[in-house]
Amino acid sequence: MSQVMENTVLFLCTGNYYRSRFAEHFFNAVAVKEGLCWRADSRGLAVGRSGKNVGPLSVLAIQVMEELGIRLDSPLRFPVQVKEDDLHRSDLIVAVKEAEHRPLLEEQFSFWADRVEYWHVHDLDFATHEDTLPHIQREVLGLVRRLKVR
């Protein structure tokens, strides 16, 4: 019996509570629908630093995923701080906002900073979820299109 190998994309944000988690779940839903042999995971570069994240996952992200028909695991896992092993295990790493995440990568994992694909998706301090979450959806759909032709 042959086993299909899945590649892994790792989404990074600051707290692993909102943007990277939404990207992870949205990517996985689209990948299954498209028959893509990729799976997403997510981590944070500064989990707990802001003190604003309450619970395992942003209520705003949960609401939009419910509207999109994306099923979430129960119980939801809490945010996870990235470790170097997470980076090594990933075939592709995407940080959702270069201006915010490149400095954190350079500080913690300088070897990896230039090996990451950077997007430019704002957090709630610069944009509403009505802007941010559709932006992530567009980025993920573009990424899926690129991965399908790889």
What's the CATH number where 72 sits? 3.40.50.2300
Q: Which amino acid is located at 46 in the chain?
A: A
pLDDT given at position 52: 66
Q: Which domain holds residue 59?
A: 7-148
Within a domain: 2: no
Within a domain: 73: yes
Within a domain: 1: no
CB atoms within 10 A of CB 16: 27
Retrieve residue 28's tokens: 């996985």
Within a domain: 119: yes
Total domains, the chain = 1
pLDDT given at position 118: 98
Residues of the chain short of pLDDT 70, as ranges, are 1-4, 50-53
pLDDT given at position 1: 46
pTM, whole model, 2 decimals?
0.94
